[in-house]
Amino acid sequence: MIFFKNIIRNFLFIAVLSTFYSYSYAQNQDTSRPSRTSAASAALAQDTLVSYIVKKVESYSFKIKRDRSAIKRNIKVNPIKESLPKIKKTLTAFSKRLSEKGRPMNLRGLNTAGIMLQENSDRLMSFQSTLTDYFNTLVENNASLKQIRNDKLLRISVTDTSLSRQMLSVLQSAIQLDSTQKSMLAKVTVLKNKVSVLLLQLNDIISEINYLTINVKTNMWGQEDESIFNDKWSDYNQSLLATTLSAFSINAKVVYIYLNNKWDTISFAFLLFIFITFWCYSNMRRVKKLAEADEVLAQVNFLKRSVITGCLMMFFTCLPFFFRNPQMSFLHICELFRLIALSYLLYPFLSKSFKPIWLLFILLWIYFAVDDLLLEPALTERWLLIIADILLIFICIKVIKNVKEIFITITDSPATKPLAIFCMSISFLSIVFEISGKPTLAKIFGVTAIQCLFIGITLKVFSTMAIELIYLQSEAYRESRFSEFINFKVLQNHLRKFLWFAALFVWTVSLFIDLDLYTLEARRVGYFLNTNRTIGNMSFTYASVAVFIGIIWLSSIVSGIINFFFTQQKSKDAVKKNSVGSMMLLVRLGIWSIGFIIAVAAAGIPLDKISIMLGALGVGIGFGLQNITNNLVSGIILAFERPIQIGDHIEIGNKAGVVDEIGVRSSKIKGFDGSDIIVPNGDLLSQHLINWTKQDRRKRLNFQIGVSYDADLNQVKQIIQDTVEANQEVLKDLPPSVLVDSFASSAIEISIFFWVGDLSIASTTKTNVMIEVYTALTKNKIIIPYPIVTVLRDNKEEENL
């Protein structure tokens, strides 16, 4: 497109210029024959050319000003130029440290160095990309500037002096800008070369760091150093104090570098913390205004102590999981704040004998955290590590012996004793490794022991507070429509199981991080999941299979949660629950369908494979899945037609009960004897179904009673009529009926019919009415005769005897 525009523009320019010169030539050749037409044409050509030149001058001036302004700002080059000396100084320091003789850096120091160097590598790559783009932009601008300098139109003599000065100014500005651009191109080229050299040096250092890291991890299981009893002070480069101060300084820089580009993640986590804190504080205020606030808050421990501190503890527990492979210094900072909040929450609930144990645990954790951050080995550090391991073993033994006496009002966890035994074993191995000359393993196992115990306590308190949050929510809004569907006791049991699973997963991940195995195992799992595998002509990865199964499983979880909230029998208003609960089948079917579609799309399964699978499924349905398909389709019909709803009293065949759940394939009926009756949905549509509560919950009841032939039937009817109508549970808008039914052998049978407003009280009302009728008839001296009972069988049995 630009090529054609240039051709058209040059063509117009040549045409105008040719016209102008032709008219000028004609005028010079024949001045004796003035022609008005020729003069007018020449004037028109002159005006057209001037107008074209003016537009070009304006365009060139704008472009020159824009390019000059961009060079003057110099925003792309100056920050890079200022940053390169600092990066070079960092590389020089690392090179000097790696070339020093003596003890090499420990594993934590190598990991920290790797993080800092990788951050600098990312910065240099970004600088290189920026400089390359800027260099290409300058080259393009210089090419267009060259076109301005070579434009012959700017060198044409025009009569307009102002325009002539502007043309000259554009040419001079273009020449000056060309010189400036070439100078800037030279500077950018030099910076590019410097960045490239630094990148080469940095990649060499990173390669050496990676080699040393692999070497340390490989050799740490062997004889890495002398036994601690044979070690000498002169073999170490620095004292423990100097090593500690240096580690603090370097780790502070590492944390700054690590968090420098992650403020968006931190901001999101902080906003989430504010939301949860506001939610908890709002629920706590509402609960305190209740009449039974003391009784409700008696079930709450940690959040009653302090809502803000509890939310801070949960925030610093969850914050590391917002980052992918968080840096260890950052983890320890989060753990320190978490330990402070946890101590404030937990200390009042500790028994008197375990409060000093907790203070000792805090001191040990601080030591292990500081020791884990040390980048250089020291002999004093090795001796202190053995002492700290011994003290930690003492704490674990104390916990194992007095596991029931740790807390005052908090329930003991069944995992406390196994966790203490595990941590004690790890601490003992740390001592063995330190004595046998394996300081790297000793430090890893020592830190892992204290971290496992600390994380176990943290997850125990975290899970308890999560349950307390749900409890406060259910109590603060107990009158809301949503809370009517929440049975907190059932929800608590489900939530506790989930929290146990989540805590076990988090504890396992933390264990792998502390053992420095997380990255290695993550790579192995990633390689296993992402390797292409084939079955016949179909290619797949275990990752796609896991994504498919995971989304289907997540859909079932969401469906189960919805089913749980809207089918738990907590509300006494069964009619309200019917209209909501019966629609859950459609919602669950929709969730399953959407989940299946998302799973197929996420797993990358081709549509032709889906059609083959559906075809195979159709063949299976045709041969052996008719009943299952019938039940599935029947479930959809039940959801749309709604002949029954959750909470309905129904009878099907010889079974009766209350509809408890309408599923996709089958429905559950709660029998009146407490049994759960599973009925396929196909039977609910194909068999005769009696629904006692389809329109309303009223029910007609009846019973019979016999009176003597000597009784006055009119009087008997009136007594029974008055007695039944006097009962408060009997409906007045549907008056009872008293009918003479038959003349039996020993009495006149009378049938009584009446209605009650709710079938849930039918049996009780019928019993009360029968007692009241019997009492009224007896009071009026109306005889209720005994039936004539035949005793032929008894006589026959006596004769046989």
585-601: per-residue pLDDT in tens? 667 777 777 877 777 77
Do strands 737-743 and 689-691 pair parallel, antiparallel, or not at all (unpaired)? unpaired
3-state secondary structure of 333: helix
Averaged pLDDT for residues 605-622: 63
Mean pLDDT is lowest, of 104-108, 557-561, 753-757, for 104-108
Mean pLDDT is lowest, of 209-213, 306-310, 582-586, 687-691, for 582-586
Q: pLDDT at position 45, please?
A: 58
Q: Exposure string (b/e) for 664-676, b if CB count within 10 Å is 16 or more?
A: bbbbbbbeeeeee
Contact between 603 and 547 under an 8 Å Cβ cutoff? The reply is: yes
Question: Which tops the pLDDT comparison, 144 or 678?
Answer: 678
Q: pLDDT at position 585, please?
A: 65
Instruction: Give the model confidence (pLDDT) of 669-700 as tens digits.
Output: 888 777 888 888 888 888 888 887 777 788 88
Q: Is the pLDDT of residue 144 over 80?
A: no
Adjacent-strand bridge partners of 750: 705, 740
Mean pLDDT is lowest, of 432-441, 463-472, 557-566, 770-779, for 557-566
Residues 6+ apart with CB under 8 A from 403: 412, 416, 417, 420
Handedness of CA 168, 171, 174, 178 (dihedral sign): negative
The amino acid at 56: K
In the block, tokens 């052998």 appear at: 745
* Number of alpha helices (DSSP H) and beta strands (DSSP E) in the chain: 26, 10
Contact between 462 and 276 under an 8 Å Cβ cutoff? The reply is: no
Helix or strand (DSSP H, E) at 539 = strand 538-540
Q: Is the pLDDT of residue 92 over 50?
A: yes
* Per-range mean pLDDT, top range of 62-66, 82-86, 478-482: 82-86
Quote the percentage of the chain above a pLDDT of 90.
8
Averaged pLDDT for residues 219-239: 66
Mean pLDDT of the chain: 77
The amino acid at 309: T
What band does 168 get if pLDDT is binned at 50, 70 and 90?
Answer: confident
Closest CA to 181 of 228, 132, 146, 226: 146
What band does 358 get if pLDDT is binned at 50, 70 and 90?
Answer: very high
583: how many CB neighbours lie within 10 A of its CB?
Answer: 16
DSSP structure string for 565-632: HHH----S-HHHHHHHHTTHHHHHHHHHHHHHHHHHHHHT--HHHHHHHHHHHHHHHHHT-HHHHHHH
* Per-range mean pLDDT, top range of 46-50, 136-140, 488-492: 136-140
The amino acid at 2: I
Contact between 665 and 680 under an 8 Å Cβ cutoff? The reply is: yes
Helix or strand (DSSP H, E) at 676 = strand 676-680
Q: pLDDT at position 43, please?
A: 57
Mean pLDDT is lowest, of 177-181, 374-378, 666-670, for 374-378
Q: Please tell me the distance from the alpha carbon of residue 213 to that of residue 223, in angstroms, as a whole number.
A: 16
534: how many CB neighbours lie within 10 A of its CB?
Answer: 8
The amino acid at 785: P
Q: Is the pLDDT of residue 630 over 50?
A: yes
Instruction: Give the model confidence (pLDDT) of 243-275 as tens digits.
Output: 788 878 878 877 887 787 788 888 898 999 999
Question: Which tops the pLDDT comparison, 386 or 163?
Answer: 386
Q: Is the pLDDT of residue 341 over 90?
A: yes
Adjacent-strand bridge partners of 607: none
Q: pLDDT at position 466, please?
A: 86
Averaged pLDDT for residues 336-360: 91
Q: Please tell me the distance from the alpha carbon of residue 123 to that of residue 257, in angstroms, as a whole number.
A: 11
Q: Is the pLDDT of residue 34 over 60?
A: no
Mean pLDDT is lowest, of 18-22, 414-418, 740-744, for 18-22
In the block, tokens 């008997």 appear at: 716
What band does 35 get if pLDDT is binned at 50, 70 and 90?
Answer: very low
Instruction: Give the model confidence (pLDDT) of 739-766 as tens digits.
Output: 988 888 888 889 999 998 888 788 889 9
Mean pLDDT is lowest, of 104-118, 303-317, 554-568, 713-727, for 554-568
Adjacent-strand bridge partners of 660: none
Adjacent-strand bridge partners of 704: 751
Q: pLDDT at position 148, please?
A: 75
pTM for the model stands at 0.60
What band does 135 get if pLDDT is binned at 50, 70 and 90?
Answer: confident
Averaged pLDDT for residues 454-471: 87
Farthest-apart Cα atoms in the chain, separation: 169
In the block, tokens 């760091």 appear at: 209
What band does 29 get if pLDDT is binned at 50, 70 and 90?
Answer: very low
Contact between 466 and 499 under an 8 Å Cβ cutoff? The reply is: yes
Treating both helix axes as pointing N-terminal to C-terminal, what angle do 78-99 and 161-219 enclose, rounded to 10 degrees? 20
Averaged pLDDT for residues 178-185: 80
Q: Is the pLDDT of residue 633 over 80?
A: no
Q: pLDDT at position 526, please?
A: 79
Question: Which tops the pLDDT comparison, 68 or 434?
Answer: 434
Q: pLDDT at position 463, please?
A: 86
Averaged pLDDT for residues 514-521: 70
Q: Please tell me the distance from the alpha carbon of residue 458 to that of residue 435, in angstroms, as a whole number.
A: 31
What band does 169 get if pLDDT is binned at 50, 70 and 90?
Answer: confident
Mean pLDDT is lowest, of 417-426, 432-441, 509-518, for 509-518
Averaged pLDDT for residues 408-435: 86
Q: pLDDT at position 412, please?
A: 74
Q: pLDDT at position 577, please?
A: 45
Contact between 321 and 334 under an 8 Å Cβ cutoff? The reply is: no
Treating both helix axes as pointing N-terminal to C-terminal, what angle do 307-318 and 439-476 enclose, rounded to 10 degrees? 130
Contact between 117 and 206 under an 8 Å Cβ cutoff? The reply is: yes
For the CA atoms of 137, 142, 148, 150, what is the dihedral angle to 10 degrees?
Answer: -140
